Amino acid sequence: MLVKQNRIVAALTEGFLVAMSVTMAWLQRAQTKTIPDRRKRVVVIGAGAGAAMLLRELPRNGYLVVALVDDDPQKAGARIHGVPVAGRVNDLTEVVRKFHPDGDSFCHRRADAPHLRSV
């Protein structure tokens, strides 16, 4: 009689462990599914104080900053708020190829027409 009870307890325990394993695997798989990021990908020209402000504000307004470009050689390779300074303004074509911003999506704090035409 005791052997039967032990077998029943063992079978119930095994069933419980299998059920928990399946549940945990399902939960883990559900968590790894990615939700598409609907924010517009942009490159910011400049990596100074103005860019730092943009890096805080743009995500709140539906933009994802994917890279920065700046002509200051000391900023090359740095990260500002986790976003890489990917090159100089002259490297913009290569940066666009590498980081794939949406369309012609660039931000610059100095947005006067002559400066934007030069970029």
pLDDT band with cut points at 50, 70 and 90 for residue 107: low
CA torsion sign for 41, 45, 47, 49 is negative
pLDDT higher for 109 or 52?
52
The domain covering 40-118 belongs, at the CATH homologous superfamily level, to NAD(P)-binding Rossmann-like Domain (3.40.50.720)
Query: Which pTM value belongs to this model?
Result: 0.61
| pLDDT at site 87 | 93
Ranges of each domain in the chain = 1-33, 40-118
| pLDDT at site 97 | 93
pLDDT in tens, 37-88: 788 999 998 888 888 888 888 888 889 999 999 999 999 899 999 999 999 9
pLDDT in tens, 6-48: 788 777 788 878 888 888 887 777 766 666 778 899 999 888 8
Query: Could you tell me if 68 and 81 are in contact, meaning their C-beta atoms sit under 8 angstroms apart?
Result: no
SS3 labels along 76-99 = CCCEECCEEEEECHHHHHHHHHHH
pLDDT band with cut points at 50, 70 and 90 for residue 116: very low
The Cβ-side half-sphere exposure at 87, using a 13 Å CA radius, reads 13
Mean pLDDT within 83-97 = 92
